[in-house]
Each structure stands twice: as C-alpha cells, then as structure tokens.
Structure 1
C-alpha cells in the first residue's frame, strides 16, 4: 500500500490553519502541523489523529528563517517529501496608518510576508528536486485584494502576499515545474486573529494605539460571517484539485475588488493621448 501524501500547515494551532490540517486529514494525507503555540498545536495534533490521519507537530516561528528550514528538514526526515504546503500563519494589528510603530511593521511583515517567503525558500527547492506534482497555498486575505481603513499594516502585508504568490506561480511555470500555486483570500472568519497580540514577541512590543471602533468592526464582522474556517479550508482543497490560483471564499469580496478596480481605471489616463489633444 503506497504511503499517504503529506501536507504541511503553518499556523495550524487554531482557526483556518487547524481547519486546513483537518481537511488534509480527510483527504487521507499525513499532516505536519506547525505553530508557535505548543499547547494549541498539541490539540490540533490530537484532532488530526482522531480523524484517522498520522500527524507530526512541530513548534515553528515562521518569521524565523531557521525555524522554517528546520520544519522543512523535519518534514523530509519524517516522510521523505511534502506534497501540499500551506503557508498560512498570520497576525494582525489595527489602527491608523500614521500610528503604526516600527515594531508593528516588523512583527506583521515578519510573520505574514516573510513567513511565506521563508516557506517557499525552504520547501520549493526540495519539492523541485523530488520531481513529483505538488501544490503551495499561501494565505493572504480579502485585505490583499482590496483595502479598508484602520488596517494599513495588515493590508500592506497581505497585498504583498498576493503579489508574491503571483510572481511565484509565474516563476514555477517558466521553469516547467509541476508545482501549482494558489493564494487564499478569505474575508473575516471566526478565528483568533483578533487575539494575535497573545503571540507578539517581547522584543517587538511597542504597539501603536487601536481605536475601539476598529476592534468592534472586526468582532462584528467575525460574528456575522456566514463563512466558517471549515468552509475556507474546503475551498482551498477544492482549488488545489482544480489547479485554481485565486481562492476567494466570500462572495462579497468580488464587489470590493470590482469597486477598487473601477476607481483605478477611473483615474487612469494616457499621457501620450493627452499630448495629442
């Protein structure tokens, strides 16, 4: 009997990450669950095993290139390769653009953007050398396709993840790789991302002020969302099977993207055409 395929999920201790780990278990895959929170990670590992799948848990701070490299090495030692990689770990800060501190930027970009970059740098060369079909899902956000006030740092990080993923897909296509890429862009879902500060490093503790109105907006959006973390995970797995790049689980995201695109095109003008008039 052939060995099961292997999925690696970062940020697997809660929310979308835990739902992705369980979705992979239902696919009959062995799961490498990674998170910075060891207790939450152990809970995910127990749930994955209860679902009938083998699971290795490893603490990993994705903002650390060394931690992610160790995760890749451990994954290869455990099963000899990885078929699906979910660069999913993420954090958020709220507040006006001018109130964001240097520590806010370092923390959010370190996890949300560099966590993805570290994952690609450590896993893709190994995946390519292995030579079998594989897939990478980078978790961005609807905030990577549109924008909202009070979220400058978060939106900037997620727009960067979308652009990075688009470039990654082009790079892999140009070298004829069998590795597919998807970018996952959910809107608000009932997760613990609004409690991100629980994992904020002491060395990056200087946070800008957050207005209560921003926090209430996020709480209300999570509470009213008809889309669950399980729905998001299911959409991601479906996208992998369909080899679809953009994964947008919330229907209303389309209206936000369309509105932004219309504003861009409305302000667009051809300076060469102007010079002819």
Structure 2
C-alpha cells in the first residue's frame, strides 16, 4: 500500500495529452515531482506551463519512446535531477486501424516501435534504477504502470496492429509483475486497460515521424473505416481521461494490478477466454450489436 505521494517523483511518457496529462495534474496536486515526456513539443510546453503553475517541480523532456537512446537519456536526466523515480507511467501509445494484411511495413514498425518497444525501453531503463533505490532504502516504494488497452485482452476486427501491440504490453506487464515479486517487496507494477475514452489516441497519426510516413500511399477502405469508427467510439466515450487517471492512482495506492476503465467490458474478455478454454472458434465480436457487424461487412464488401 502506498499512501504518501508527496515529494515522490513520477516519470510520465505521453504527458502532453490524455491519461499522461491527467495523471500529471493529479501528481501536481499531491505535491509530486514530475518528469513530463512527450514527442509533441507544443503539447509538452503547454503541459509543463500548466503543471508548473500548480506548484510542482517539473523536468520537461521531448521524447520519442521508440528510440532506445532517448529513453536512456530520459533516465539519466531524471536521476540527475530527482534521483531514482518512485513511479513510472509508460503511457505513450499510438493507434492504427484497418484489415491486418493491409498494414504496411511502416505501419508495423511505427506502432510496434512506440507501443511495444516504448514500454520495453521504459521497463529496461527505470526498473534497475528503482530496484537499486529499494536496496539502499528499506522505506522506498516504487510502482510501474504500463498503459495497454482492452485491445490487449480482446481482438476486435479491423484493429490488427494495435491489438498485437497491446497484447504484448499486457504480457510484458504481467511478466514484470511476476519478475518483481521474485526479487523485491518494494517495487510493483500495474497494467492499465482502458476501453474507449476521449484522449488523443485516435489522432495519433499527427505525430507519425517522417521516416514512417506513407509517401504517395492512400489509406485503404478498411483503414478509412477503422479511423472513422475509432473517432466515433473514442469521441463518444462517457468515462473521461481524468476519471481514468484517478483510477490509476487509486490502483497504485492499493497495489492492484489490472486497472479497467469499463469493468463491464470484462464480459467480452470472459467470452474470449471461454473460446480459448473450449477450443471453439472465436465468438462474433458483434453478437450483442449485430447491426454494427453487418454495417462493417457491408462497407468492406461494397465495390
């Protein structure tokens, strides 16, 4: 149980918007030192100005989480300014939709680089630092939160590369939790699995680096449909990013591993796991809303 957040240090990637920014706002109110990292400079500048105005000690860092050397530099800068962090939120992520065989090589490299390797770099850089701090100070407590998604527990159609990346984050987080349990009682981990929540995720292509841009390639029909569905679902979410950020802090305080924004969505996870246990073919994901499934089929099959 972690009850005191005051003067503790938190590192947040994707801190310029969505869950990252909302967690930073809560951290500032709790009197924490905050390392705010984001790939988008203007969003980062705005977040730093707001969080500093709340009285928090802030270290800003422009960061592409997919780049190992940049995450290593973030680790060094954090340690130099605040020492080993107590909390690490590996939160940065990007989305991409479309039929799985229509993802280009650049789609795969971009999404895997940010969503999987970004979390892997965060775990690789900060966990040893936190374990070292725990060894030196019996009162030290640390916690790592990796942002996955309900797409890490389900496999909705037309979201292939995103599903793959988020399943990897769930797996990495569960393994991290178990591995930490082997070596310490002072550092723990959680995985955040939000459902559709209004954040910047559906517009993540705005930060797609030059090297991964598709020159002269038009989005396919399935990708356009995927983008429209994502915009609609994310935009109409009833649970806010601020609500989810509070859930994250509550879970960290209670050392709860799985953090769900929409507990009712677990019914779909149960159906999937029963498919696995009974070795039956995957259940129609639109069984409860057949009109959405038939619309999607019609749109994809239309000439």
TM-score range for the pair, normalised by the shorter chain length: over 0.9
Name 1:194's counterpart in structure 2. 202
Provide, for residues 11-42 of structure 1, a one-character-per-residue CA deviation record: whole Å limited to 9, x for no partner.
00111111111121122211100001111001
| Correspondences of 1:78-89 after superposition (within 5 Å) | 78-89=81-92
Task: Please give the TM-score of this superposition, normalised by the length of structure 2.
Answer: 0.85
CA distance in 2 between partners of 1:39 and 1:22 (Å): 17
CA positional deviation for 1:213: 2.5
Q: SS of the counterpart of 1:89?
A: coil
CA distance in 2 between partners of 1:19 and 1:140 (Å): 17
Provide, for residues 26-80 of structure 1, a one-character-per-residue CA deviation record: whole Å limited to 9, x for no partner.
2221110000111100111111122221211110110001000110111111112
Tell whether 2:248 aligns with 1:245. Answer: no
Q: Which moved more, 1:229-238 or 1:21-30?
A: 21-30
CA positional deviation for 1:215: 2.0
What is the aligned residue count?
Answer: 267
* Equivalent of 2:193 in 161, 164, 185: 185
CA distance in 1 between partners of 2:6 and 2:272 (Å): 46
Name 1:143's counterpart in structure 2. 151
Name 1:213's counterpart in structure 2. 225
CA positional deviation for 1:3: 7.6
CA distance in 1 between partners of 2:113 and 2:235 (Å): 28
Tell whether 2:128 aligns with 1:125. Answer: yes
Task: Please give the TM-score of this superposition, normalised by the length of structure 1.
Answer: 0.92
Name 2:293's counterpart in structure 1. none
Name 1:50's counterpart in structure 2. 53
Tell whether 2:206 aligns with 1:203. Answer: no
* Equivalent of 1:91 in 84, 89, 94: 94
CA distance in 2 between partners of 1:193 and 1:51 (Å): 26
Name 1:275's counterpart in structure 2. none
* Equivalent of 2:184 in 144, 167, 176: 176
**Could you list the runs of 5+ residues in structure 2 that have no partner in the other structure?**
135-139, 281-303
CA distance in 2 between partners of 1:143 and 1:85 (Å): 22
**Could you list the runs of 5+ residues in structure 1 that have no partner in the other structure?**
269-277
Tell whether 2:78 aligns with 1:75. Answer: yes
Q: Which of structure 1's runs of 4+ aligned residues deviate more than 4 A?
A: none
CA positional deviation for 1:177: 4.5
Q: SS of the counterpart of 1:252?
A: helix
* Equivalent of 1:267 in 267, 279, 289: 279
CA distance in 2 between partners of 1:246 and 1:75 (Å): 27
Name 1:5's counterpart in structure 2. 8
RMSD of the alignment, in Å?
1.6
Provide, for residues 111-150 of structure 1, a one-character-per-residue CA deviation record: whole Å limited to 9, x for no partner.
0010011011111111111112100000000100111111
Indicate if the aligned counterparts of 2:94 and 2:114 stay in contact, CA closer than 8 A. Answer: yes
